[in-house]
Structure 1
Amino acid sequence: MQANTETKTLRTGGQDRDRIRKLTVTAMLSAVAFVLMFLDFPLPMIMPSFVQMDFSDLPELLGSFALGPVYGVLVALIKNLIHLLLAGSTNGVGELCNFLLGASFAWVAGFVYQRNKTRRGAVLGAVLGAVVMGIFSVPLNFFLTYPAYVVLYGMPMDVILGMYKAILPSVDSLLECLVIFNMPWTLAKGLLDAALCMLIYKPLSPILHGRH
């Protein structure tokens, strides 16, 4: 009886330490992701200037692979909550969009990797996550993000379309703009994050997994 109690205590203690480690790593990755949100830059020849390139989804992908998809989603959530509290300038619209896209990316990638924990599984998960994020960006921006910007900032949709037309004059609807511009842009961002993740995951693995 005493041996069973001691075994159960040791097991519980180990689970508590593992939970604390995962939460600590999640907090660390969230802080890095928050900083990366500020290192954004425009590519005006490819996208309108209000759409910025950044690599803040990379820590979410790292967390999803190292800790599981739930933690990857948690990194996306914490990152955007901090940004909303400390630097939010979009009344939460930009943060909500960023969270939903990042969460879809991290969840799909981590879900696939959990079922095939090999390099091939990681690559497949990251690519599928990027594809899902790219496709999801179209309805998300069409039904939520852009209409919210029109209401909140009084920016006519014609002005938004005009920014796309300055790059490709033949486009004539928001849906067309999102399919031609935003979907491949979001996909490319995801694939770049995936490539960076493959490069740095192994060197960071001891830290992410609590090994010394």
Structure 2
Amino acid sequence: MYTLSRKSFSTRNMVKISVLGVISMVLMFFDLSVWFAPPFLKLDISDLPSLIAAFAMGPMAGVITQFLKNILSFLIEGSSTGGVGEISNFLVGSVFVYIAGFIYYKKRTLKMAVIGLFVGVIMMSIFASISNYFVIFPLYAKILPLDQIIEMASKLNKYVVDYKTLMIYAVVPFNLLKGTVVSVITLLIYKKVSPILHD
């Protein structure tokens, strides 16, 4: 497993990670509902700073950025899900940025960046489906019953008729879409911003 090196723990890098965490938290405020998923699944690009951190300073830097983003969001905005949404956001986002960053950081080429992002999106979507099915949605159901969640989704997406189809036709497409959007933006801007993050 990749861990932060002593260099990665330098004061300068931790300051960079902290700044990216703040930017990531701010980006969470700019979100959109999607037409095929429950309203609480919001599309945003708050994973972008984490990916940039993972590419520039290693995958664990991306995970730490994810952690800071969710902690700051919870402390500043509070949580409408009792912290469940923030935990899910952290875990799912961390899988995405760690895998993408791990693959890219081994060989920093455009090809490896594309491969890393592609694999990261796929693995994130798989992980999100499993974690949501067995853990996150059952916890969230303590606040909003699953039947109501399914009903909300079915009004937007005719293919959602039960819990399994909620995962297949709402959760999976949502994460694929979100991951793809963030990946495209990362590919477009990373080389422009990376000089700022390198010593």
Q: Specify the structure having the higher radius of gyration (Cα).
A: 1
Corresponding residue of 2:161: 172
Q: d(CA) in 2 for partners of 1:25 and 1:115? A: 21
Matches within 5 A, 1:97-116: 97-116=88-107
Which residue is equivalent to 2:74?
84
- 1:174 Cα deviation after fit: 1.2
Give yes or no for contact 1:138–1:175 (8 Å, CA) kept in 2. no
2:124 aligned partner: 133
Identity of aligned residues (%): 36
Instruction: Name the residue aligned to 2:13.
Output: 22
Q: Structure 1: any 5+ residue segments left out of the alignment?
A: 1-14
Structure 2: which amino acid aligns with 1:39? F
Deviation at 1:16, TM superposition (A): 6.5
What residue number does 1:69 align with? 59
TM-score w.r.t. the length of structure 1 is 0.86
Q: Could you list the per-position Cα deviations for residues 59-94 of structure 1 after superposition, in whole angstroms to 9, with x for gaps in the alignment?
A: 110000000001000000111011111112222111
After TM superposition, give the deviation of residue 200 of structure 1 in Å: 0.8
1:186 counterpart (169, 172, 175): 175
CA distance in 2, matches of 1:182, 1:48: 9
Is 2:185 the partner of 1:196? yes
Amino acid at match of 1:87: E
What is the CA-CA distance between 1:17 and the residue it aligns to?
9.4
Normalised to the residue count of structure 2, the TM-score between the two structures is 0.91
CA offset at residue 48 of structure 1? 2.1
Q: Secondary structure at the match of 1:128?
A: helix
Q: Which runs of 4+ in 1 moved over 6 A?
A: 15-18
Partner of 2:41: 51
Counterpart code for 2:107 = N
Structural RMSD (CA): 1.6
Match among 124, 137, 148 for residue 139 of structure 2: 148
Q: Distance in 1 between matches of 2:55 and 2:157?
A: 38
Q: Which has the higher contact order (CA 8 A, sep 6+)?
A: 2
Q: CA deviation at 1:139?
A: 1.2
> Any idea what SS the aligned residue of 2:141 has?
helix
Q: 1:66 to 1:128 in 2, by over 3 A?
A: same
> CA–CA distance in 1 between the matches of 2:73 and 2:107?
33
Helix, strand or coil at the partner of 2:37: coil
Unmatched tracts of structure 2, length 5 or more: 1-5
**Deviation of the 1:105 alpha carbon:** 0.4
Once residues 17 and 187 of structure 1 are traced to their aligned partners in structure 2, the CA distance between those partners, rounded to angstroms, is 30
Aligned residues: 193
SS across alignment from 1:26 = helix
Cα 1:129–1:16 change in 2 (3 A) is closer
AA in 1 matched with 2:62: G
